[in-house]
A = this chain, B = another copy of it.
Amino acid sequence: MKTLHVNLSDRGYPIWVGEGLLADAGALLARRGFSLAPVVIANRTIMRLHGETLMRSLQRAFGRTEIIRIGDGERFKTHATLLQIYREMFRAHADRRSWILAFGGGVVGDIAGFAAATFMRGIPFVMAPTTLLAQVDSSIGGKVGINVAEGKNLIGAFHQPAAVLSDTGVLKTLPKRELASGLYEVIKCGAIRSERLLRYLEKKLPEILSCRAAELQHIILAAARIKADVVASDEREGGLRMILNFGHTAGHAFEAATGYRKFKHGEGVAWGMIAALAYGRELGLMNTRDSARLVRLIRSVGRLPSINAISVDTLWESFIRDKKFQSGDIRMIFLRRPGEAEIHTGVDASSLRRFLKKFLASGGNLI
């Protein structure tokens, strides 16, 4: 097991990464100072696959442990599920001394974290993320929340976990497409902050895709460290934190334009990065060799669902509805070179739209 410390003035916390950690969860958390049993919030799928390992470990350390099961998938990240969680917490006699353990992917982490942020004005929570995406991305940074009819993550809070426990072993049961989806976020971390991580990925991709523990641990720690560093220096998302959105403005638009059905989040980001790289090259911000190198790495992870059926009108509409697309002043993240991101303000809307039209017409093959 390796530990990464996230430094936040008064609420720093450890991220533990290692193979087989779930079996030690109880002991680790007891050593961290927890003495009562948590309320576990988990999705049904992960409970079936790895619930027994976790629960046995928790029960050994804390005794009887309550479980709240929620549906598996983004469509359950709603107010209705949140109210279900509150209800079951009250039924389990949870009070302000209680704490939550979120066990699952990004959806579980987001909604369980928001429940923790708001139950009796805030109780602690620990995350045990079970997808690569959640381990490298959504479990770090303290963003929690739910979706509403008007859009994703529009209701939420900032609530930092008390600890994050990432077991690389559970990734073996993750569908390959989910693994790839997480890898795109790892590539993003390298792209914005670490050329070294990019080189590692280029060299070790086969081992990573076959879930070798050492290589998974390496990339999870590297990506988590990058995200944690950026977040620590800009907790409430004023400036630097924006570079984490590389590939995300376009990525969200690809997701939204296809009704969140065609792409996994990471796949949307992959397309968003390819688009940003192509646009950056067109604007003369990055040379062809560097942008081609990054596109090659992204494409080598796996086959991306095609963008052929998306019309520029639909894509553009999703673009301008995105909350990151602040009215008047369009901001985008570009790379200056692999490992170095730049925030550009005042992007010209009509040339961006023209570019997207060309990008779609090429099937995303401008580079």
Check B150–A120 contact: CB distance below 8 A. no
Check B157–A157 contact: CB distance below 8 A. yes
Q: Does A83 contact B (CB under 8 A)?
A: yes
Sorting the interface of chain A by its residue count into under 10, 10 to 19, 20 to 34 or 35 or more gives 20 to 34
Q: Does A323 contact B (CB under 8 A)?
A: yes
Question: Complex: how many Å from CA A260 to CA B116?
Answer: 27
Partner of A145, one of B83, B121, B154, B323: B121
Check A157–B95 contact: CB distance below 8 A. no
Partner of A155, one of B97, B119, B323: B119
In the complex, per-residue mask of A142-183: 1 if CB is within 8 Å of any chain B CB, else 0: 010100101001111110000000000000000000000000
Partner of A157, one of B90, B122, B326: B122
Question: Complex: how many Å from CA A117 to CA B117?
Answer: 10
A294 CB, nearest partner CB in chain B, Å = 30
Q: Does A118 contact B (CB under 8 A)?
A: yes
**Closest residue of B by beta carbon distance from A327:** B95
Check A156–B86 contact: CB distance below 8 A. no
Contacts of A145 in B (CB 8 A): 118, 121
Partner of A121, one of B79, B97, B158, B326: B158
A318 CB, nearest partner CB in chain B, Å = 16
Question: Complex: how many Å from CA A157 to CA B120?
Answer: 8
Contacts of A143 in B (CB 8 A): 121
Check A122–B154 contact: CB distance below 8 A. no
Q: Does A96 contact B (CB under 8 A)?
A: yes
A91 CB, nearest partner CB in chain B, Å = 9
User: Can you name 21 A-B pairs with beta carbons within 8 Å?
Assistant: A79-B79, A79-B83, A90-B148, A90-B150, A90-B154, A97-B326, A117-B157, A118-B155, A118-B156, A118-B157, A119-B154, A120-B154, A120-B156, A120-B323, A121-B143, A121-B145, A121-B156, A121-B157, A121-B158, A122-B157, A157-B157
Check A86–B155 contact: CB distance below 8 A. yes
Question: Complex: how many Å from CA A140 to CA B163?
Answer: 32
B-facing residues in A65-116 (Cβ within 8 Å): 79, 83, 86, 90, 95-97
Question: Complex: how many Å from CA A324 to CA B43?
Answer: 32
**Closest residue of B by beta carbon distance from A93:** B327
**Closest residue of B by beta carbon distance from A324:** B96
Contacts of A323 in B (CB 8 A): 95-96, 120
**Closest residue of B by beta carbon distance from A151:** B90
Partner of A148, one of B86, B96, B158, B326: B86
